[in-house]
Amino acid sequence: MATWISRGLRGSTLEDLVNRTNEQYREKGLALVQKIPTPITPVRMDKENRHITLAYFDQRSTVDYIGAVQGIPVCFDAKECSAQTFPLANIHPHQVKFMEDFEKQNGVAFFLIFFSYLNEFYYLTFRELMGFWKRMEEGGRKSFRKEELTEEFYLPKKGGVLVPYLEGIKLDLERR
């Protein structure tokens, strides 16, 4: 079972950027998207500082974020990548199943990939993910390379928005 201590604060900078972006979008009336907390059970506590030092996850989480963008239901997960190749092992089958079911309900599901070494954000549509996922299931690569991604879905910095994922949603909807 995965524990909090083994995963540390991996991705916390990305999470902070997305959370601030969500606040910007909410303040502008463009979207209402919230972080879904992962339920944990504390195992070890630092009683002096009142901090959890070891915990385990109660259940599998589905996605990091869920909400609505101008009446359209959205869900997404944010992943950080420090190399040219993104391992599909970072995405779990229960997440793919949830997103598949979400899309069947006319929602928009996607992944935000942060290529930290380049300081670039990529909007990975659920359809594009499924192409890589099926390739893996059929015995192909268990990852995808940065050069395999669709150029138009890189998210340019604009308008003071830290992670402008609404641009990705707009393009995603136009291509459906």
Is residue 18 classed as helix, strand or coil in its secondary structure?
helix
Q: How far apart are CA 146 and CA 43, in angstroms?
A: 39
Residue type at 143 in one-letter notation: S
Say how far apart CA 27 and CA 47 lie, in whole Å.
Answer: 38
Residues 58, 7 contacting (CB under 8 angstroms): no
Residue with tokens 């420090």: 82
- DSSP for residue 149: S
Q: Is 24 marked within a binding site? A: no
Report whether 77 belongs to an annotated binding site.
yes
Burial class, 164, CB count within 10 angstroms (exposed 0-12 / middle 13-18 / buried 19+): buried
What are 78's strand-pairing partners? 112
The answer to the question of whether 59 is labelled as a binding residue is no
Paired with 80 in beta bridges are: 114
Instruction: Tell me the binding residues.
Output: 62, 64, 77, 95
Pick out the residues of the known binding site for Mg(2+).
62, 64, 77, 95
